[in-house]
Amino acid sequence: MKLIGIVCAFLICTNLLAQQENKGQDSRIFYNIEEALQTPKAVFKLYIEHDNLKQLPERITEFKELRELQLGGNPDLDWTLVFELLVQLPQLEKLSLSENKMTALPKSITQLRKLKILTLVDNPNLDWEKTFEYLKALPNLEVLDIGNNKIKDLPSNIGNLNSLRKLFLWNNQMINLPPTIGKLVALEELDLSNNQLRRLSSTIKQLNQLQKLYLWNNYLTELPDEIGKLQNLEMLNLGGNNLTTLPSTIQQLKQLKILGLAYNNLLYFPESFSSLKHLRDLDLEGNPKLNWVSVFAKPKKLKDLEILNLINNQLIDLPPNIDQLPSLKTLNIKQNPAINWRSAFTQLAGIKTLQQLDVSSNNIQHLPSEITYMQDLKYLHLGSNPDLEWKEAFFSISKLKRLEILILSSNNLKALATEINQLTHLKELELGNNPALDLDGVFETLSSMSNLETLSLIDNKIAQVSLSIGKLKHLKVLHFWMNEIQLNSLEHKNIQNLLPKTSIIYMPRYL
């Protein structure tokens, strides 16, 4: 019996090791066909986009385990010949053919029976009716991205693709949707952003599995009452339209967690809005005519609301009842310079759950002492308030003992007050675009802040790095990009030796 147990244990371990090995192989990406051909059985993902390919080598059929192939940006390929090879890849699940100037998909695509994800972005000359006719033969097709294709009229046979879970139609030119869109009953995500939609088809009510609906940047003036039938909808982005209100049926969206309404022409909310008790994130940026009483008429019913965006709303006072929202954690009131800040901070002090506050770009001149009552604040953005009286501001900020992130960019700062040392939990400090800063003084002031992990000094016209920077040995990340620093390898090594545990970044990561 003991021997059998040992053998079983050995087999289990062997199987687990094999699974781990396969998992590692599955995550490996090849970017070169010739390299991939050296180990054809290990090729699970092949990315050969924008390679100016004239033809695919026939040996690509050796990639019997290939799951994902990205062929975008190779417009000179003969697609009939390409698909004669692709149909010999029995495991192919994901195929990207973006930016290929295709005029037609070969009928042989219907043989890719395991295909789950197809991307046809930026192929505006495709015959979409014929394309959908072929695609309906793919029983496992779940994700289709046909964004950026100048589609004006979506063919009605889109409704035949009833296995789709995600459909991306972003950045086209559609004015209306065909009623057959309602046949896509398996859809969980639908992206119609950046089109020219004037209305939504009432058949959208049939998409009862829909969880995410993107409609930003269209021409919608109203929503159909039927939108309330989307019982599983969790995210609805309606930013950049011409809505003046919401239908009362909005209350039926019991699962809605994220609602984006930025830059509409909203005037009021229906009373039923307060029934969205699971709403967590509300974006109302750029709606200066909105009746705020109608938004938070019954604030305690919005018991899950944690994130509220009120940027650029020409506010004079904060919306009434905002301090009665029971779970509000993040509030952005950037670009509202006419606010009565003493009144506002008195109201904010009453929000005991508030942890993140953005009051940047507001021309605040005196930071009200009421901010000191916001003892749970962890994130404070005070950037672009250059006329602020900083001596009294630092005194007040120093009382925020739980503060972890402080942003003071673009404030014409010349020095940091020593009171900042009282922020013993501060982990990140942003001092970008303050070129008059006395950096030696800054390094001295921050030297005792042992919990400070990230310091940003971007865009400060720094030409030389003082050796006093060595006082910041506790830093993990130091941002120096968009400055005038030019170091040779020896100078860089000397600075790195001063900060051996710090990642010093001279350029943005995305460059």
Asked if residue 22 has pLDDT above 70, the reply is no
Distances 228 to 211, 214, 259, 466 between C-alpha atoms, Å: 13, 16, 14, 61
Share of the chain above pLDDT 70, in %: 94
Under the banding of pLDDT at 50, 70 and 90, the label for residue 145 is very high
Asked if residue 14 has pLDDT above 50, the reply is no
Pick 467 or 67 by higher pLDDT: 67
Share of the chain above pLDDT 90, in %: 90
**β 29-30/45-47 pair status:** parallel
Under the banding of pLDDT at 50, 70 and 90, the label for residue 27 is low
Helix (H, G, I), strand (E, B) or coil at 282: strand
Asked if residue 153 has pLDDT above 50, the reply is yes
Q: Determine the Cα–Cα distance for residues 46 and 70; give it in Å rounded to an integer.
A: 6
By C-alpha distance, which of 187, 106, 119 is closest to 149?
Answer: 119
Under the banding of pLDDT at 50, 70 and 90, the label for residue 487 is confident
For 384-398, give one letter per residue: b (16+ CB within 10 A) or e: bbeebebeebbebbb
Residue 336: the pLDDT is 98
For the chain, what is the mean pLDDT? 92
Residue 42: the pLDDT is 94
Indicate the burial class of 124 (C-beta count within 10 angstroms; 0-12, 13-18, 19 or more).
middle
Helix (H, G, I), strand (E, B) or coil at 117: strand
Q: Which residue type sits at 400? A: L
By C-alpha distance, which of 99, 100, 118 is closest to 109?
Answer: 118
Residue 369: the pLDDT is 95
Count helices and strands in the chain by DSSP H and E runs: 9, 21
Could you tell me which residues are beta bridge partners of residue 189?
166, 212
Asked if residue 78 has pLDDT above 70, the reply is yes
Under the banding of pLDDT at 50, 70 and 90, the label for residue 17 is very low
Residue 393: the pLDDT is 97
Q: What residues have CB less than 8 Å from 40, skipping those under 6 apart? A: 59, 62, 63, 64
pTM of the model: 0.91
pLDDT digits (tens, 9 = 90+) for 335-347: 999 999 999 999 9
Asked if residue 116 has pLDDT above 50, the reply is yes
Residue 272: the pLDDT is 93
CB distance 222 to 242 below 8 Å: no
Q: Please state the rounded mean pLDDT for residues 485-497.
A: 82
Q: Select 24-113's CATH number: 3.80.10.10, 3.40.630.30, 3.20.20.60, 3.30.465.10.
A: 3.80.10.10
pLDDT digits (tens, 9 = 90+) for 303-325: 999 999 999 999 999 999 999 99
Residue 25: the pLDDT is 44
Residue with tokens 């006329």: 387
pLDDT digits (tens, 9 = 90+) for 157-178: 999 999 999 999 999 999 999 9
CB distance 180 to 159 below 8 Å: yes
Sign of CA dihedral 17, 19, 21, 23: negative
CB distance 506 to 482 below 8 Å: no
Q: What is the end-to-end Cα distance of the chain in Å, rounded?
A: 62
Residue 507: the pLDDT is 78
H or E element at residue 23? helix 2-26
pLDDT digits (tens, 9 = 90+) for 93-104: 999 999 999 999
Residue 24: the pLDDT is 43
By C-alpha distance, which of 353, 416, 362, 359 is closest to 386?
Answer: 362
Q: Helix %, strand %, coil % for the chain, to 5? A: 30, 10, 60
- Rounded to 5 degrees, what are φ and ψ at 190? -135, 120
Longest dimension (CA), the chain: 82
CB distance 320 to 347 below 8 Å: no
Half-sphere exposure of 135 (CA within 13 A, CB side): 29
Q: Please state the rounded mean pLDDT for residues 62-89.
A: 97
Indicate the burial class of 13 (C-beta count within 10 angstroms; 0-12, 13-18, 19 or more).
exposed
DSSP state of 210: -
Q: Determine the Cα–Cα distance for residues 333 and 363; give it in Å rounded to an integer.
A: 12
Indicate the burial class of 12 (C-beta count within 10 angstroms; 0-12, 13-18, 19 or more).
exposed
Under the banding of pLDDT at 50, 70 and 90, the label for residue 492 is confident
CB distance 61 to 88 below 8 Å: yes
Q: Determine the Cα–Cα distance for residues 66 and 112; give it in Å rounded to an integer.
A: 12
CB distance 281 to 257 below 8 Å: yes
Q: Which structure tokens are listed for 481?
A: 């990009």
pLDDT digits (tens, 9 = 90+) for 406-454: 999 999 999 999 999 999 999 999 999 999 999 999 999 999 999 999 9
